[in-house]
A = this chain, B = another copy of it.
Amino acid sequence: MRATVIHGTHDIRVDDVPDPSIIKPTDAIVKITASCVCGSDLWSYRGITPVEEPKRIGHELVGVIEEVGSEVKTLKPGDFVIAPFATSDGTCVNCQHGMHTSCVNGSFFSAADKDGLIDGGQGEWARAPWADGTLVKVPEMPDADMIPSLLTLSDVMGTGHHAAIAAGVKPGDRVVVVGDGAVGLSAVLAASRLGAERIILMSRHADRQAIGKRFGATDIVEERGPDGIARIQELLGGPGADAALECVGTQESLEQAVGATRPGGRVGYVGLPHAVSQVPIFQMFLTNVSLSGGIAPVRSYLDELLKDVLDGTIEPGLVFDLQLPLGEVADAYAAMDERRSIKTLLWPGR
């Protein structure tokens, strides 16, 4: 089959790779309908995470079940499914706590489990381990225009939602969102969905600001650092936000989030803290600002968010501002790298 392989910095190609097959009776094979490029894929693309040898990449996918192993009970060929970026058995102690990303049998798409490679999303097919636990069935075959929103449930919408849940966003809250990428915008939508009264999006890009407002942002702050904090305090007429959602993962973004939060407020963080050298613990101690979050257990939120997507309550798929056939994946990465696209959807079948 054809699938995306990263060969080195700025070198991404569609190669011929082995077709996936059922390895364990709990596996399923999914024919991929749509996939996309994640901000975290850019770490390798930009060479920040070195690429030692060519490797498969991608971890967001929706598609149709083609084959199931003999122990798969809840899925059958023809079912349309959403795959969260992490695989999980759904039954272990951590899954029971809703922490599917810490599943004792789990792994990640584009990584490997002890049975071998788990195909990434950016290809024609994928093996999905622990199919009953990992995959979520969509009740009916969705229309094409529903696909982008369903695809966000494999990562960015669930991740933005996790930031809001980690920060305990509740009706009436005043929330700051740091980061205007697809996850930050999803966090705006999640905060709005949870009833936040004010949502301040920190953004300097008109296209992202527009989607942020459509998702429920009540205010935009373009300033950063101390000026950004001062502007937030001015807008809120007080010592800061009840909650800040940190959706970037740098030292500056974490300090921005902590500084924008009122005493006793909560920072929910989902940006991979790749570039965080120092958590401002003393400032947090003196102000009782808490820090919750991490890699999002998207699976645990999927049923709830799926319902809202299907009934039209939310349309997170608006974060996709570029759609390309799989064969043009190099353009997809370049467009996101150069910020010409917020998030790019890939169609393997086109």
Contacts and interface: CB of A to CB of B under 8 A. Distances in A.
Contact of A239 (B93, B98, B278, B295): B93
A191 to B, nearest CB: 18
A282 B279 CA distance: 11
Interface in A63-97: 93-94, 97
Contacts of A290: 166, 290-293
B99 A288 contact: yes
A262 B94 contact: yes
A155 B288 CA distance: 16
A263 B293 contact: no
Contacts of A166: 288, 290
A295 B291 contact: no
Contacts of A93: 238-239, 262
Nearest to A93: B238
A292 B292 contact: yes
Contacts of A97: 262-264
A243 interface: no
A281 B276 contact: yes
A288 B293 contact: yes
A294 interface: yes
Interface size class of A (residues with CB under 8 A): 35 or more
Given A93-B239, A288-B102, A294-B286, A273 B263 contact: no
- Which applies to chain A's interface (DSSP): helix, strand, loop or mixed? mixed
B98 A264 contact: yes
Contacts of A291: 284, 290-292
B294 A285 contact: yes
A282 B104 CA distance: 19
Given A292-B290, A292-B292, A285 B272 contact: yes
Interface string A183-222: 0000000000000000000000000000000000000000
Interface in A89-125: 93-94, 97-99, 101-102, 104
A297 interface: yes
A272 to B, nearest CB: 7
Interface string A274-317: 00101101101111111111110100000000000000000000
B264 A273 contact: no
A206 to B, nearest CB: 31
Interface string A165-178: 01000000000000
A295 B279 CA distance: 17
Nearest to A166: B290
Interface in A136-175: 166
Contacts of A276: 281
Given A102-B288, A269-B285, 5 more contacts: A97-B263, A102-B239, A102-B287, A264-B297, A285-B295
Interface of A: 93-94, 97-99, 101-102, 104, 166, 238-239, 262-264, 266, 269, 272-273, 276, 278-279, 281-282, 284-295, 297
6 contacts: A94-B239, A99-B262, A269-B285, A276-B281, A279-B279, A288-B297
